[in-house]
Amino acid sequence: MARRPDYVTRVETGAGTRFASTPCARTGAGLSRSGVRDCRGHGRLAQQDHRRGVRRHAHRASELTVRAACEAWLAGKRIKPTTHDAYSAALAPVIEKYGDKLVQKITKADVEKLVTELSTGSGPRGVWKRTSINPMLARWRSVWKDLHAQGVLPRNVVALVEPLRKPHGQVELKLDGVLNEAEVEQLVAAHVPRQVPAGATRLERAEITHAAHRELFLHLALLGLRRAEVGGLRWSSVDLAAAVPSLTVSATRVQTHGCHRRRTSERGSPRPRRRWPGTC
Instruction: Give me the pLDDT at residue 279, please.
Output: 47
Helices then strands (H, E): number in the chain? 9, 7
Angle, helices 202-213 vs 215-222, to 10°: value is 40
Distance CA 142, CA 254 (A): 27
pTM of the model: 0.50
Instruction: Give me the pLDDT at residue 71, please.
Output: 96
Mean pLDDT per 10-residue segment, the chain (280 residues): 72 82 52 63 70 56 94 94 92 95 95 95 90 95 95 93 83 71 86 83 85 82 81 81 78 43 45 48
Instruction: Give me the pLDDT at residue 159, please.
Output: 95
Query: Options 3.40.228.10, 1.10.150.130, 3.90.1170.50, 2.40.160.10; which CATH number does 66-160 get?
Result: 1.10.150.130
Domain spans, the chain: 1-26+36-55, 66-160, 174-231
What are residue 5's phi and psi, to 5 degrees?
Answer: -60, 160
| Helix, strand or coil, per DSSP, at residue 159 | helix
Instruction: Give me the pLDDT at residue 238, please.
Output: 82
